């Protein structure tokens, strides 16, 4: 397996048994995005893989362009306390359109 990965230029990583947070880079966003939509079930097979790929494409567009999020406006420290102030929530699409350097077209 390692030889194949080296020949194909694939980064091969190992996970440790019974370590829930040890899935290297692949499951980095599963808890915050994918698990909310799909759940914690395990899917296997070609048909399930194809369906998940289509779902991931739609979810990726939704999360990256249309899901509102907060952005930090300023951060100040008063002694040991950190005070954060945020801009109102906006979608990335709204932020792009609000930029003065972006044309209407």
pLDDT digits (tens, 9 = 90+) for 38-91: 887 888 889 988 988 898 888 888 887 888 888 999 999 999 999 999 999 998
Which DSSP string corresponds to the chain?
-HHHHHHHT-------TT-TT--TTTTSSIIIIIHHHH-S----SHHHHHHHHHHHHHHHHIIIIIS-B--EEEEEEETTEEEEEEPPPB-HHHHHHH-TTS---
Rounded distance, CA 27 to CA 34, Å? 9
Residues in the chain: 105
What's the pLDDT at 41?
A: 81
CB 72 within 8 A of CB 86: yes
Residue of higher predicted confidence among 21 and 99: 99
């Amino acid at each position: 397996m390692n030889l194949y990965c080296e020949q194909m230029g694939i980064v091969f990583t190992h996970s440790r048994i019974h370590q829930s947070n040890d899935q290297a880079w692949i499951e980095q966003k599963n808890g915050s995005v994918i698990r909310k939509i799909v759940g914690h079930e395990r899917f296997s097979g070609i048909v399930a893989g194809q369906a998940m790929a289509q779902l991931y494409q739609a979810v990726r567009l939704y999360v990256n362009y249309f899901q509102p999020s907060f952005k930090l406006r300023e951060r100040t420290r008063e002694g040991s306390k950190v005070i954060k102030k945020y801009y109102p929530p906006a979608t990335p699409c709204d932020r792009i359109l609000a930029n003065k350097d972006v044309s209407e077209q």
